[in-house]
Structure 1
Amino acid sequence: MKYSEVNFICKGGEAWHRDVLMHDLADIGFDTFESNDKGFAAYIASEQLDLPALESLLIHQPVGFEVTFTVREILPQNWNAVWESNFEPVVVADQCYVRATFHPSKPAYPYEIIIDPKMAFGTGHHQTTSLVMCYMLEESFDGKEVLDMGCGTGILAILAAKMGASRIWAIDNDPVCIDSVLENRTLNHTPQIVAKCGTADLISNERFDVILANINRNILLDQLGRYAQALPEGGVLYMSGFYEGDDLEALKVAGADVALTYDSHRTLGGWAAACFRKKG
């Protein structure tokens, strides 16, 4: 799959204006963001890039916040070079060390995850990933069955496996992500991860003790009913990819409609993650 890099130059406005713009870009298909001195770069599958929709979005930015952009198509090998030149190890909650194959090991940490991201999202750098990982590190996964929905690189599935989960499904609708999960599964010696390419339709007849879904608000709202059906009474859903405020409130309302009770949430850099539990 070919990807496009869209470089956004932002002038004026506040830092949160960029965050809101990234959120809106995620709603129209962008799946990875990298900040820089002038604004940020955003990445999207070339076939999903809708320039009229992008231009319409930018027209409606707040007064005083000016945004221009340029587009270039990138090849997979160029993406890999970008990641290797910028990917630094990450430590999450002082317990989990995330590194690439070209970084040294640090066995002093309770959990070490090796990620070669390729073109898939999820290295622990983004706030949404680290927020879900922080929740996970407070959870017991011993013997549990877990779903990582919208798995990207499979980083959340790998952490669940290293924390003792007995079976993990990692689902994404992008074949590139599935290839990444399979490679990272081997690197981390986590054979209990089953990688599947597809949508939430795949879980129609399945049950999971814990569901991890780091996607975006609209997809989460659309799939909440599926998650609720797949959870037993007392099952836990951890979600991220949205903002505190209207996004979270919408998820609370939609969750209540399908017997998912809001438990808690946390924020980082404007992004939010939340825990919901299945009612009896």
Structure 2
Amino acid sequence: MQYIQVTFTFSGIEEYQKDLLISELAEAGFNTFEDTESGFAAFIDFDDYNQNKLSEVLLQFEDEFIYNYTVTEIAAQNWNEEWEKNFEPLIISDECYIRATFHEPQPQYGYEIVIDPKMAFGTGHHQTTTMMMQYILSSDLEGKKVLDMGCGTGILAILASKKGANTLLAIDNDEVCYQSTLENASLNHVTNLEAACGGKEIIPESIFDVILANINRNILLDQINTYAGVLISGGSIFFSGFYETPDLEMIEQECKKFNISYKDHKKMGDWVAAHFIKG
């Protein structure tokens, strides 16, 4: 598979502005982002790239900061080689060690996850994934049935399995993420995880004890009613992929319509993860 790499350089951009741009690019189909010395690179499947759509996104920011960008076709093999050069192991809460296949194991940590993300989002390095993993590490998931929406590499579902979850369903609308989740589950010897490619329409008519949803505000707002229908009374939802203001309040208000109540939230940089409980 081929990809398009759009490399941005900036002058006078604030970190929150960069995060907002990345969020808008994600909604436009870009699925992987890599920091550079002077900006970042964004990646999208070759067949999904649309120059007009990119121009529409950038038009929203034309008065906020100065930028330049270049567009390059890149082969999947080249991307993986570049990713391997830059990927560093990560430790979450002194409990979970995340590494790639080419890193040495560290058995002193309670949980070890091996991830080869390819083009899929979710190595734990982004603040949203880190905070979601912190929530999982502090939760009792023993015997629970877990739904992971927007699963990316499957890293959250894999950690939930290692925390004792009984059955897990991981869903993403990107075929690369779907395949990556299956491969990573196998790498981690997780056998109780089922993956599916699609959106809220493929969530089964079943009941889950815990829902993990690290996506973005607009998709979350659209899907909360569906989550409410499959979450057990007293069950937990962990959300991330949005900002404290105004996003958290908007999500809280939408959840109230379905008897889902805010419990607490974490903040890392400009990003937020939040815990809600039904009933």
**Counterpart of 2:219?**
219
Unaligned runs of 5+ in 2: none
Q: CA–CA distance in 1 between the matches of 2:253 and 2:2?
A: 37
Q: CA–CA distance in 2 between the matches of 1:207 and 1:172?
A: 19
Given the superposition, is the C-alpha separation of residues 256 and 46 from structure 1 closer, same or farther in structure 2, using an over 3 Å criterion?
farther
Please show how residues 115-126 of structure 1 align to structure 2 within 5 Å: 115-126=115-126
- Does the 8 Å contact 2:31/2:119 carry over to 1? no
**Counterpart of 1:239?**
239
**Counterpart of 2:189?**
189
**Counterpart of 1:16?**
16
Given the superposition, is the C-alpha separation of residues 29 and 101 from structure 1 closer, same or farther in structure 2, using an over 3 Å criterion?
same
Q: Which moves more between the two structures, 85-94 or 74-83?
A: 74-83
Please show how residues 75-94 of structure 1 align to structure 2 within 5 Å: 75-94=75-94
- Does the 8 Å contact 2:32/2:119 carry over to 1? no
Given the superposition, is the C-alpha separation of residues 253 and 7 from structure 1 closer, same or farther in structure 2, using an over 3 Å criterion?
same
**Counterpart of 1:248?**
248
Q: CA–CA distance in 1 between the matches of 2:173 and 2:57?
A: 25
Q: CA–CA distance in 2 between the matches of 1:89 and 1:218?
A: 31
1:214-253 Cα deviation digits (max 9, x unpaired): 1111111111111111101111111111111011121111
Q: Which moves more between the two structures, 255-264 or 24-33?
A: 24-33
- Post-superposition shift, 1:208? 0.8
- Post-superposition shift, 1:31? 2.4
**Counterpart of 2:3?**
3
- Post-superposition shift, 1:3? 2.4
**Counterpart of 1:50?**
50
Q: Which runs of 4+ in 1 moved over 3 A?
A: none
1:134-165 Cα deviation digits (max 9, x unpaired): 11111011000001111111100100010000
Three-state SS of the structure 1 residue aligned to 2:247 is helix
- Post-superposition shift, 1:80? 1.2
RMSD: 1.5
**Counterpart of 1:32?**
32
- Post-superposition shift, 1:36? 1.5
- Does the 8 Å contact 1:242/1:272 carry over to 2? yes
**AA in 2 matched with 1:232:** I
Q: CA–CA distance in 1 between the matches of 2:24 and 2:132?
A: 21
Give the share of equivalent positions with the same residue, in percent.
51
**Counterpart of 2:276?**
276
**Counterpart of 1:165?**
165
Please show how residues 102-117 of structure 1 align to structure 2 within 5 Å: 102-117=102-117
- Does the 8 Å contact 2:172/2:178 carry over to 1? yes
- Does the 8 Å contact 2:5/2:43 carry over to 1? yes
**Counterpart of 1:41?**
41
Q: CA–CA distance in 1 between the matches of 2:62 and 2:74?
A: 30
- Does the 8 Å contact 1:128/1:241 carry over to 2? yes
1:16-42 Cα deviation digits (max 9, x unpaired): 221222222222222222222211111
- Does the 8 Å contact 1:58/1:67 carry over to 2? no
Q: CA–CA distance in 2 between the matches of 1:77 and 1:206?
A: 39
- Post-superposition shift, 1:64? 5.5
Q: When the two structures are superposed, what TM-score results if normalisation uses the length of structure 2? A: 0.95
**AA in 1 matched with 2:164:** G
- Post-superposition shift, 1:49? 2.5
Q: CA–CA distance in 2 between the matches of 1:189 and 1:150?
A: 21
Three-state SS of the structure 1 residue aligned to 2:17 is helix
Residue correspondences, number: 279
Unaligned runs of 5+ in 1: none
- Does the 8 Å contact 1:27/1:218 carry over to 2? no
Q: CA–CA distance in 1 between the matches of 2:56 and 2:179?
A: 34
Q: Which moves more between the two structures, 265-274 or 96-105?
A: 265-274
Please show how residues 59-78 of structure 1 align to structure 2 within 5 Å: 59-61=59-61, 63=63, 65-78=65-78
